[in-house]
Structure 1
Amino acid sequence: MTQTEKEKMIAGQFYFAQDTELVASRKEARRQMKKINAQEDDQLRQQLVQEVFGTSGNHLYVEPNITFDYGFNIHVGENFYCNFNNIFLDTCPIIIGDNVMFGPNVQLYTATHPLEPVKRNSGLEYGKPIQIGDNAWFGGGVVILPGVTLGDNVVVGSGSVVTKSFGDNVVLGGNPARVIKKITENEPSNPLDGLRAKIDHIDDQLLELLTKRLQIVGDVAQYKAEHKLPILNKGREEEILARLVPSNDAALTPFLKENFEQILRLSKEYQAKIIKDPHHEK
């Protein structure tokens, strides 16, 4: 028996998105979204959401605005809480367990496209389902990519992008998300773990920024090589240190100065490696 484009879509196969039935379903979804997002009464909004979702528990709370492709591919359990401006691209099923909380601007994407440009330009699309276990908590701005499965008791930090699946009892953070810590039932609160998690998050940001900085340093080295300019520009270094190192914090100033001096030293070494300057002193 020949499959409809809708059946192919839900099964994660290639399908034609401009199929008449699917176009009509998306138009109906937009009509329902307008009703849901305009409804000021919480109870009536809940009823409208339950009518649109594929399945749901008896208790859920959805703040406006919520956005979805179809609605019928979204399945949520009991006690689902959805904060402002959540997005569900539900070309494939999105299955969410009990006692799940989403912060604002959470985005779940099952939709994807072929990598090959000929297939992509032909209008063929496909998706991969997303499954979230019980007792999940997603911070604001979390993005879940196609095909991800998360176990029970998973916490995802704000702004994280989850690109692969993880099991139970983990805290995830970063882009791409990784395990920050494991959750032990009824574990005592340890402030040190929280502080270390914050440091890990900052380290992830530093890595990204330092990588970008070195890439630009490489461009500077190329320019200097082409124009036969020296690597060391003492005036430029003094200007950087004066701008970045505070002079009003006696405790932090020497450590910050040393950090930036190290960054500048390594930048010169990286330039020398690119230019292959035999006179450069490391």
Structure 2
Amino acid sequence: MTVPQRVLDIMHTPGLYFCGDPEMDEAQLAQMKMLHELNATTPGDPRCNELLHEFFAEFGEGAYVELPVRANWGCSTHWGAHAYANFNLTLVDDGEIFIGDHTMIGPNVTLVTTGHPVRPDLRERIAQFSEPIHIGHNVWIGANVTVLPGVTIGNNAVIGACSLVTHDIPANTVAFGTPCRVVREINDHDREYYWKDRRIPDDI
């Protein structure tokens, strides 16, 4: 089942909306069944790659996701070419998620596009809002990172493990912490050393 455009428009349009629409429920159930089938595939099963292309909005050439993966929808997440995600990725993708080419995502990362109003009576009515997440080209997101709604992470940025990303992170920077903050720009030291005092071999 292809998710109806009307359902996508509800989720992808800025502003509050209310869950419980029968057409939305039916579409999400179909996506959840497909996700269950995907996570049940065995290593090397060609059906896995077929399902990845069917489940996600886009799945670029050479992209790879370690299973299991969890997602609210799947059809709102766009993968660039050669992007990679380690196991236990969680996508709260009622809103759209864009993951750039060659981006690497560590284990146990959560990307959250959706929130709920603080006002209690609206939450009782299952009100929510969704804002897109944009992750640029060649980004590295470390293990156990959480990215919140509306965040943009620029090209080549590195997000340290266990960070909570609440605001945009500019390109070509190293950032970490709770909340995540830019610590420094990527610099000449990084061109010579791959980790601490470990020098990159000349023949690489």
TM above 0.5: yes
Structure having the higher strand fraction is: 2
Aligned match of 1:133: 136
Paired positions, count: 191
For the structure 1 residues 18 and 6, does the alpha-carbon distance in structure 2 shift closer, same or farther, using more than 3 Å as the test?
farther
Alignment of 1:165-204 (within 5 A): 165-184=168-187, 187-189=191-193, 194=196
Show CA shifts across 1:103-131 (max 9, x none): 11010000101111122212221111100
Is the 8 Å Cα contact of residues 62 and 83 (structure 1) preserved in structure 2? yes
Aligned match of 2:31: 29
Aligned match of 1:116: 119
Structure having the higher helix fraction is: 1
The Cα shift of 1:64 comes to 1.1
- Find the partner of 2:80 among 77, 82, 92: 77
TM-score by length of 2: 0.87
- For 2:65 and 2:121, how far apart are their aligned partners in 1? 39
Show CA shifts across 1:209-263 (max 9, x none): xxxxxxxxxxxxxxxxxxxxxxxxxxxxxxxxxxxxxxxxxxxxxxxxxxxxxxx
- For 2:43 and 2:153, how far apart are their aligned partners in 1? 32
Is the 8 Å Cα contact of residues 5 and 15 (structure 1) preserved in structure 2? no
Alignment of 1:94-105 (within 5 A): 94-105=97-108
TM-score by length of 1: 0.64
- For 1:47 and 1:107, how far apart are their aligned partners in 2? 24
For the structure 1 residues 7 and 168, does the alpha-carbon distance in structure 2 shift closer, same or farther, using more than 3 Å as the test?
same
The Cα shift of 1:4 comes to 4.4
- For 1:108 and 1:132, how far apart are their aligned partners in 2? 10
Aligned match of 2:69: 66
Q: For 1:87, what is the secondary structure of its paired residue?
A: strand
Is the 8 Å Cα contact of residues 87 and 106 (structure 1) preserved in structure 2? yes
Give the gaps of 5 or more residues in structure 1. Answer: 196-282
- Find the partner of 2:18 among 16, 19, 35: 16
Give the gaps of 5 or more residues in structure 2. Answer: 198-204
Identical counterparts, % of pairs: 34
Aligned match of 1:93: 96
The Cα shift of 1:187 comes to 3.1
